[in-house]
Amino acid sequence: MEWNPDPDSAGTWLRDRLDVDYATMHGVVPHGFEAYARIFHPAEVRSLPDRAVPTMDEWNRMPDEEHVRLIELFVDEPATWADAAAAFDTSLHALAQWQRLVKTPPEVDWRTRIAPDGREFTSPREGEMSPALLAAIARYLVAHTSTPDAGFAAVWEGWGGFVGHYGEAPSRAYLEFTDDPLHAQVLQQSIHDRFNNPFRKAQWQPGIVSDEVSKGERLSLPGRDHVLFAAPPSAFAGPGWILDAPWRDLEQEQHGFPPAAQHPSILWPADRAWVMASEIDYDSTIVAGSAELIRAICADERLEALPIPEGADLGWEADTTNR
């Protein structure tokens, strides 16, 4: 995998098949493919043995020692959209929207909802999926292209700290806490330096990718700009792809974090047999390709996926079934 400094040469065809607005999924998913699949990102469910998860009001009335006891008892597990639909007595369908699926009243936070059976469901992550989920999808993608060893991966430039920028503050900062009172004093002074802050001048702040990549050309698509990499689809067929990604977050690893890399926002092979789009504001990933590819993805029980029609509306108001 390597940076592509001439993104238009590889991505113009994609831009030509997208809508300029987001009225349907074709703001991010290209027109003109035989079939489409929506792969739902996993949610999370929290439960307590033999009792319901307390509401926020109940939690706030509990003494601290009860908080400690309950935290040790919480069981957090992945949850499918079908799990949520069953818990809230709603219907999972291709155009389902999470806030409707978990019966969220107006003006109420849909990201965390307690089901009638007492379990607490946390919404899927938007624009993000695990390396393992991408690998599971990629195995099907690799099998349905004549160019599994040649393709492109576009990563949205707006992920925090991904590209460098001119500014007064670094792209990212890591705070290390110790019991050393001198260290704590220096940290406090650096955070609350009221005298120098107003006089700081903008300077180049490095990002995760190199300065050359940060300052290079972007693949500009409706509403989003991306950094483009030449990347074979076969490279993503195992969760270890993050170790070879040119945008692997090495600085974060130096601070004790495990290896990590944001998955591609858009992925396609050189023969353009399919496109995978994982829009940053979507809680699902869309694959456009042949009918055979879409059937294979939707038939895999490890992937919660359903076929969707061309021109599908994936907006929040699209779920008329669960209103």
The tokens describing 160, both together, are: 């925090």
DSSP 20: S
What pLDDT is stored for residue 72 in this prediction? 66
**What span, in angstroms and rounded, lies between the C-alpha atoms of 287 and 267?**
9
Q: Is the pLDDT of residue 273 over 70?
A: yes
Contact, 152 vs 273, CB < 8 A? no
**What span, in angstroms and rounded, lies between the C-alpha atoms of 21 and 24?**
8
Contact, 278 vs 310, CB < 8 A? no
**What span, in angstroms and rounded, lies between the C-alpha atoms of 140 and 133?**
12
Beta bridge partners of 166: 204
> Any idea which residue has 């349907």 for tokens?
24
Contact, 269 vs 150, CB < 8 A? yes
Q: What is the 3-state secondary structure (H, E, C) of 170-197?
A: CCCCCCCCCCCHHHHHHHHHHHCCCCCH
Q: Is the pLDDT of residue 101 over 90?
A: yes
Stronger pLDDT, 53 or 16, i.e. the higher one = 16
What pLDDT is stored for residue 283 in this prediction? 92
For residue range 179-189, what is the model confidence (pLDDT) as tens digits?
666 655 655 55
Q: Which residues contact 50 (CB under 8 A, 6 or more apart)?
A: none
For residue range 157-198, what is the model confidence (pLDDT) as tens digits?
988 888 887 776 666 655 555 566 665 565 555 555 555 555
Q: Number of H helices and number of E strands within the chain?
A: 10, 15
Which residue type is seen at 319? D
Which residue type is seen at 226? H
**Residue spans of alpha helices (H) in 25-175:** 56-61, 64-73, 81-88, 98-101, 131-143
What pLDDT is stored for residue 180 in this prediction? 63
For residue range 109-132, what is the model confidence (pLDDT) as tens digits?
889 999 988 888 999 999 889 999
**Which segments of 48-100 are extended strands (E)?**
75-79
Question: From the CB of residue 221, how many other CB atoms can be counted at a distance below 10 Å?
Answer: 22
**What span, in angstroms and rounded, lies between the C-alpha atoms of 208 and 316?**
33
Contact, 277 vs 288, CB < 8 A? yes
Which residue type is seen at 111? R
**What span, in angstroms and rounded, lies between the C-alpha atoms of 147 and 119?**
45
Contact, 25 vs 100, CB < 8 A? no
